[in-house]
Structure 1
Amino acid sequence: MAPIADSRQQFDEIPTVVGIFSAFGLVFSVSLFAWICCQRKSSKSNKTPPYKFVHVLKGVDIYPENLNSKKKFGADDKSEAKNKSAMPKNSLHLDLEKRDLNGNFPKTTTKMQSSPDLENSSPKHFAERKKDSVSPDSLKSITSLSSEDKQDKLGTLFFSLEYNFEKKAFVVNIKEARGLPAMDEQSMTSDPYIKMTILPEKKHKVKTRVLRKTLDPAFDETFTFYGIPYSQIQDLTLHFMVLSFDRFSRDDVIGEVLIPLAGIELSEGRLLMDREIIKRNVRKSSGRGELLVSLCYQSTTNTLTVVVLKARHLPKSDVSGLSDPYVKVNLYHAKKRISKKKTHVKKCTPNAVFNELFVFDIPCEGLDDISIEFLVLDSDRGSRNEVIGRLTLGSSAEGTGGEHWKEICEYPRRQIAKWHMLCDG
């Protein structure tokens, strides 16, 4: 009986030993996993962030060819002190310790420099000329302007024109813009970009990239237009539209520049030009057609009833000769879009009958800060819908749009309908 008792005691001790070893194993595995996670986290923090990430968050335009693989944004102070002496003036350097509480870098005034591609260009291909360029005296006069004059100024656009006779191509280089007004009242900066159109046919439409938080954007982007004979250059006009990107509402229009190419000779080489940016001229065109709308303001319920009735004499915007129009209605409060509606598409007609009603809730008492925009568009499944015409009604609108809005405010609860000429899109 004694051996049987001893074996039972041994079997009773086995679960205890297994439990102790499993507990030690569990503690060891958890500590090992935590150590590995800490090592990975520390290695990730030491890595250089991608340049696109810095570009999006900090508004710094960085090209990969301008960055040295040996440089790191999270380098030590010693390495930064060594690199400062070796860095050229035009190279990019981000001092992450000099950011403010919002994570933004302080503004630094940059001096205008000429583009290196223009200075190093060989005279074999073309001989460069400069036209209407800015002299040092004019730069001094610009910097010494009073605050009142600066408010009226919308900045200056610098660009170059060239015609490549070998490829039969018209080349436009948008270099930079200087002295733009601040469209964002909080940060006192803008996010500018430029749209360019070749008039009068409007076949060639291009735009630059958006540069974040700057009033002196350096685009340096070249656009080449093929298939334009040199004999037709004199009949063309360049239209530059300077805008500021807005993530939450419609982009703000800073101004425009019109350059008629009549009398400009491109046979001798590239032309460097600069033009003052002027306020956008809303040009009315009888060829855009007309729109009949009816509005009624209910002061008791604080609502605005909009009825899109008819459109007539719309231009031919399709290859077949007829357009497929529809109307998009945008409601703005203090220049921010708060609501949008759209009508159904009317197929193949220049005289469309919509008869569609929309009711908008007004967020404030009265219509002082309210404006409404009508966009007549041509529906196209194969490409982007083109804007046929535009109409804006509000207290700051000019012409019939302002008169119609005034009558709505003076006679609430009355449905008032009027025809309006559409402006260029």
Structure 2
Amino acid sequence: MAETINVEEKRMYDTVECGNWMKDQEYMLSDEIPTVVGIFSAFGLVFTVSLFAWICCQRKSSKSNKTPPYKFVHVLKGVDIYPENLNSKKKFGADDKNEVKNKPAVPKNSLHLDLEKRDLNGNFPKTNLKAGSPSDPENATPKLTLEGEKEAVSPDSLKSSTSLTSEEKQEKLGTLFFSLEYNFERKAFVVNIKEARGLPAMDEQSMTSDPYIKMTILPEKKHKVKTRVLRKTLDPAFDETFTFYGIPYTQIQELALHFTILSFDRFSRDDIIGEVLIPLSGIELSEGKMLMNREIIKRNVRKSSGRGELLISLCYQSTTNTLTVVVLKARHLPKSDVSGLSDPYVKVNLYHAKKRISKKKTHVKKCTPNAVFNELFVFDIPCEGLEDISVEFLVLDSERGSRNEVIGQLVLSAAAEGTGGEHWKEICDYPRRQIAKWHVLCDG
């Protein structure tokens, strides 16, 4: 009996121990499940992030292999900021002494383009220069030289070789020095704006200027780049390089460079000193870097072609004392420069007693001389009647990265002459009636 009791007690003890062990296992499993889930979640997150990073790298590498057309890199004072290093290859801003070649100077025909002979669209005729064709002594420009003869175009030698009379000095707007180069390995067109000499003083008080230069590649007008502003100098030394990638060498002959020399004005529109237009047809860049200089000429303003026309609709509400202005269309707008079509928009200013009290503007219309706006603006008039009210319309060319240029101007008021005054009289005589008229724009 004693043995039977001991066996029963032993079985009961084993059963209790087994139950306790099962409970311990359950507790252990309940503690390990969150840990396992967390580990798997972490591995999944790491895998997802790695996959996303790999996809981004693949897309970035595929995009970097495709060189977009006319991609340019600005190099300041010979420091190349392009993300890829050139290693042992020739850098664009390298020392000029390392690139001197023992080659005789090859004479080049001077290039000249008469800006007055442009057609109505502002395009210049293509000129095919021949080696044996004589050059016009009146239109002759300084000769092109190789980089090895850099000393031949020094400012001192230029001053000594060109003796000008007092009348000619007053007409001269200075000389622009620059260099052109083509890198065949990278298919890159490199333009270095070195300096300008003998600029006129645009500030009458200080008798100096704050010059800078804007450059455009024609005729596509792909990019507009500009140098920094140099303060209070008539002989600015810029030494800035602009590198354009993705331009085939065969296309260089079809392009032209347009330089606009300006003087910065803090309180008003920048003053235009002059311009330089360089057609690249006939220039062989395969021989190395070309040092060039050109006389700055007065900017060609084609007043004969007009500034275009603007269709405006006005309505005066005498009961609510409001003026409704609808900018409808613009036509025959001129090119803001020789580089191509304008990107026009209209800015509307409301004046009361010669003080601007409100301003509006339309959206920009891309690359068109005949823009359709159809935008309505409502102005509250602060006085009864329109005697002291005037509305100014400015048609501007939108330029990214620089100050917008005024294409034409129109003022409608009781004191305005021509169609502006007639239109204003009609809306005063016939209130609550929408009256539209075409107006010729004048210089802004």
TM-score, scaled relative to structure 2: 0.48
Corresponding position of 1:201: 220
Corresponding position of 1:121: 99
Compared with structure 1, are the counterparts of its residues 271 and 407 closer, same or farther at alpha carbon in structure 2 (3 Å cutoff)?
same
Corresponding position of 2:264: 245
Query: Does the 8 Å contact 2:175/2:294 carry over to 1?
Result: yes
Which of 398, 408, 412 is residue 391 of structure 1 equivalent to? 408
Q: CA RMSD in A?
A: 5.3
For these two proteins, the number of residue pairs brought into alignment is: 272
Compared with structure 1, are the counterparts of its residues 324 and 227 closer, same or farther at alpha carbon in structure 2 (3 Å cutoff)?
closer
Q: Give, in angstroms, the shift of residue 266 of structure 1.
A: 0.5
Query: Does the 8 Å contact 1:331/1:372 carry over to 2?
Result: no
Corresponding position of 1:192: 211
Query: Does the 8 Å contact 1:129/1:269 carry over to 2?
Result: no
Which of 320, 327, 346 is residue 309 of structure 1 equivalent to? 327
Query: Does the 8 Å contact 2:346/2:393 carry over to 1?
Result: no
Corresponding position of 1:354: 375
* 1:341 counterpart = 2:352: no
Equivalent residue letter for 2:211? P
How many Å separate the matches in 1 of 2:378 and 2:290? 53
Corresponding position of 1:10: none
How many Å separate the matches in 1 of 2:296 and 2:402? 29
Which of 182, 199, 222 is residue 163 of structure 1 equivalent to? 182
Q: Which has the larger radius of gyration?
A: 2
3-state SS of 1:279 partner: coil
Query: Does the 8 Å contact 2:309/2:438 carry over to 1?
Result: no
- Per-residue CA distance 1:162-206 (angstroms, 9 max, x = gap): 101111100001010011111111111100000101011111221
* 1:145 counterpart = 2:165: yes
How many Å separate the matches in 1 of 2:235 and 2:402? 32
Which of 381, 384, 396 is residue 375 of structure 1 equivalent to? 396
Corresponding position of 1:278: 297
Corresponding position of 2:105: none
After superposition, residues 4-403 of structure 1 pair within 5 angstroms as 117-123=95-101, 128=147, 133=153, 138-140=158-160, 142=162, 144-146=164-166, 148-282=167-301, 290-293=309-312, 309-312=327-330, 326-329=345-348, 341-345=359-363, 350-356=371-377, 373-375=394-396, 377=398, 390-392=407-409
How many Å separate the matches in 1 of 2:405 and 2:203? 29
Q: Give, in angstroms, the shift of residue 139 of structure 1.
A: 1.4
Compared with structure 1, are the counterparts of its residues 180 and 282 closer, same or farther at alpha carbon in structure 2 (3 Å cutoff)?
same
Q: Give, in angstroms, the shift of residue 372 of structure 1.
A: 6.8
Query: Does the 8 Å contact 1:375/1:389 carry over to 2?
Result: yes
Name the % identity. Answer: 59
Compared with structure 1, are the counterparts of its residues 338 and 173 closer, same or farther at alpha carbon in structure 2 (3 Å cutoff)?
farther
- Per-residue CA distance 1:321-353 (angstroms, 9 max, x = gap): xx9974124799xxxx98983334489995222
3-state SS of 2:288 partner: coil
Equivalent residue letter for 1:118? D
Query: Does the 8 Å contact 2:174/2:296 carry over to 1?
Result: yes
3-state SS of 2:276 partner: strand
How many Å separate the matches in 2 of 1:412 and 1:289? 18
Compared with structure 1, are the counterparts of its residues 157 and 129 closer, same or farther at alpha carbon in structure 2 (3 Å cutoff)?
same
How many Å separate the matches in 1 of 2:287 and 2:252? 14
Gap runs ≥5 in structure 1: 1-61, 66-114, 296-304, 316-322, 362-370, 395-403
Compared with structure 1, are the counterparts of its residues 137 and 225 closer, same or farther at alpha carbon in structure 2 (3 Å cutoff)?
closer
TM-score, scaled relative to structure 1: 0.50
Which of 369, 394, 418 is residue 407 of structure 1 equivalent to? 418
3-state SS of 2:206 partner: coil
Query: Does the 8 Å contact 1:339/1:360 carry over to 2?
Result: no
